[in-house]
Structure 1
Amino acid sequence: MEDLIGAMKGTELRKGLYLLQNRLMLLQANLSSKGAPLKFIPSVLKEGKKVAKLDQFEVDKLSKAWSTAVILYVVGQTPSIGTLTRFIDQHWNHVGKPRIFLHDKGYFIIKFASIDDRNEILYARPHMINSRPMIIKAWSPDFDFQAEVSRVVPLWIRLYNLPLNFWEPESLSRIGSMIGVPLFADECTTHQQRITFARMLVEVDVTKDLTKSVSIEDGSGRVIEQKVHFEWAPSYCLKCNTIGHDCLKKKAASGKEGPKPIQRWVPKTGQPTIPKSPVSSKESIGGGDVDALQSREDAIVNKEVGGNVIDDAVQSSVADVLISEVGRNVGETSRSEPQVPTWNIVTRG
């Protein structure tokens, strides 16, 4: 009897495991329809630390897939994907339509259909969007935005009056290496179709001073000094570690502003005569300005009571009140500004 009970329990256990396995397979099938299924792969120990060791073949496969991409950063405010899409449709319509990805750090990854399309954009003239320059560089597996885009920027340089026998790619590479990391010479320089200047794209660390000139020695030992002209170079803020502005320059520019003009009170024409005063129109006497005080006097003097203008006695009383108030206010002001003269109020007779 006990053996029979044990066999029945074993049968139920196998049945339960079978049902659980079917449910897991069904769940995996549903997930794989939306994303790739994953599995547990044990880590390896390296120097006493667990490490997830990747398959180099898998890594190289995706590296090749992303090799057609560029990193795009707009100096200043980051545009929306819609704005950048419209720009690409209008200005990059000579290559296949790329895919656009926006990173939370404020830069874009533009993935082209081929390496040729990527190079067509990468080695073109400097690009601008909404009057703001765009920094474009090739994607690489070890790309780090903070270390590269925010510091090392590909810039176009011109070498005016460079001797034509210095235009070989090897010679240009040696010259460009004095400035940064040379990347590419434009088509006119490569085929010597323009002889006014040699033009090349060089990666430059914008946190350092830009090279203004380089010394070049030819095979005979002759040394010439060659000036370097940058077509465009971004400003860099050492305080914020950000491309596109410089807090120190802004602060210096704001300190050069002259003093603000001082406004002074000028009496209105046609008003009752009140002596001029050096007190500015922004200054007040006891909390009220002169115009307000004069308006009060005019309102009191001209007020009609029962259709008759108030008599001279009332006017005299009003004048005494005004003179007393002005005298008190001037006294308060004179304590802080001794140079303000005493006010004299002329009343109407």
Structure 2
Amino acid sequence: MEEGQSSSTNLPAGSASRSSSPTTSWCRFFKEAAPEFQNLKFHSHVRGKKVSITRKDVVDEIQYWSSSVVGYVMGKKPYYHYFKSYVEKRWSKNFKLMYLKDGFFLVHFHDKTDVNKVLSRIHTFEGKPIILKRWSKNVNLEKEVLELVPIWIRIYDLPIHCRKAHVVSMVCSFFAKLIDMDDLELNQDKGRYLRVMVEVDVKEELPNSMVVDIHGIDCEITLEYE
């Protein structure tokens, strides 16, 4: 080596500059792109230990999700966009829908009053019962074994003068328990059929028709299950 010549000339190009650069974490690039990352930090006191989450850590989230319901549709899980349209049409315009494990869904409402409104009624999706419960931090996401389920039925050929609640309840008692019935004034097809919700035993075979004695005359009515 000639006198006065630096030994660094024998190093690969760029080696000296790399070794002299300060250490940079890749997180810096994310923080610059998304300021919310500034709130994230490394908790060195739990490294390698059991993590303990207290109520204080999540109190805001508990409050936020308290205006939610969880549930599932009996049978096959509905497609997300179809079910989202159902919720928007039937339950609320302001909500967030999330699919959870094992066919469960969560609907978070912006207005807490929507929770009570939804839970106060029985709902079906494409003729299948929707099982609902209020969300809580300890909510159990396991499907119950149900023996009695609600379903919607269309009753055809029942004379118009026999469509009062007391009479319809008698008719339905032949095979089920009447729970609800459409408002006749809101049913545009009220001349064709009566739409009712009944509670049925999942183990029993449901009839497609039945004979009713109306003023001493046998009248056969047709039952269609939605």
The TM-score normalised by the length of structure 2 is 0.50
Q: Look at both structures and tell me which one has the larger radius of gyration over its CA atoms.
A: 1
Partners of 1:230 and 1:166 lie apart in 2 by: 18
Over the matched positions of the two proteins, sequence identity in percent amounts to 17
Q: Give 1:59's aligned residue.
A: none
1:205 to 201, 206, 209: 201
- Judging changes above 3 Å, is the alpha-carbon distance between structure 1 residues 192 and 229 closer, same or farther for their aligned structure 2 residues? same
Specify which structure has the bigger relative contact order, considering alpha-carbon pairs within 8 angstroms and separated by 6 or more residues.
Answer: 2
Aligned to 2:75: 75
Contact 1:156/1:201, CA 8 A, preserved across alignment: yes
Q: 2:54 aligns with which of 31, 39, 45?
A: 31
Aligned AA for 1:122? H
What is the CA distance between 1:195 and its match in structure 2?
1.2
8 Å contact kept, 2:71–2:132: yes
Unpaired stretches in structure 2, ≥5 consecutive residues? 1-52, 60-65, 135-139
Q: TM-score, normalised on structure 1? A: 0.35
Q: 2:157 aligns with which of 150, 155, 161?
A: 161
Q: Retained in 2: the 8 A contact 1:215–1:226?
A: yes
Match of 2:123 in 1: 122
Does residue 90 (structure 1) correspond to residue 85 (structure 2)? The answer is yes
Higher strand share: 2
Q: Distance in 2 between matches of 1:191 and 1:157?
A: 14
Which of the two has greater helix per residue?
1
How far apart in 2 are the matches of 1:178 and 1:210? 10
Count of aligned pairs between the two proteins: 156
The letter of the residue matching 1:188 is L
* Aligned mates of 2:96, 2:74 — CA distance in 1: 17
Distance 1:89 1:192, change over 3 A: closer
In structure 2, distance between residues paired with 1:226 and 1:166: 13
5+ residue gaps, structure 1, are 1-29, 37-64, 128-132, 233-349
| 2: CA distance, partners of 1:70 / 1:185 | 25
Q: 1:227 is matched with which residue: 213, 221, 224?
A: 221
Contact 2:70/2:104 (<8 A) preserved? no
Shift of 1:204: 1.9
Give the RMSD, CA atoms, in angstroms: 4.1
Aligned-partner Cα distance in 2 for 1:228–1:35: 54
For 2:166, the equivalent position in structure 1 comes to 170
